[in-house]
Amino acid sequence: MANTASAKKRARQAEVRRQRNVSLRSRVRTFVKKVTKAVESGDQQATATSLREAVPVIDSMVNKGMIHRNKAARHKSRLNAKLRALSAAA
């Protein structure tokens, strides 16, 4: 446990940030899962809509420094590929 006042404050700040980061990370995962479920259901319109909702959330996590821009690009690319595969199959 922290001994000095400044160390105690840093510990409090770290905990607040950790909680926020957990929430933001969970939000990204939720939006990615929504797209994946829409793909599995086979509904092309729902997939396109959920992808349109997920992309800004993923981009905002990059701006906040939560995930690396390459990871965000990878997520968006893979989700978009699933949408294209779904439309090609239809």
pLDDT (tens, 9 = 90+) of the chain, 90 residues, equals: 789 999 999 999 999 999 999 999 999 999 999 999 999 999 999 999 999 999 999 999 999 999 999 999 999 999 999 999 998 876
pTM of the model: 0.85
CATH assignment, 5-89? 1.20.58.110
* CA geometry: angle 74, 68, 75, nearest 5 deg: 20
Q: How far is CA 29 from CA 3, 54, 55, 72, 81, in A?
A: 37, 9, 12, 12, 18
Structure tokens at 14: 């770290």
Q: Domain residue spans in the chain?
A: 5-89
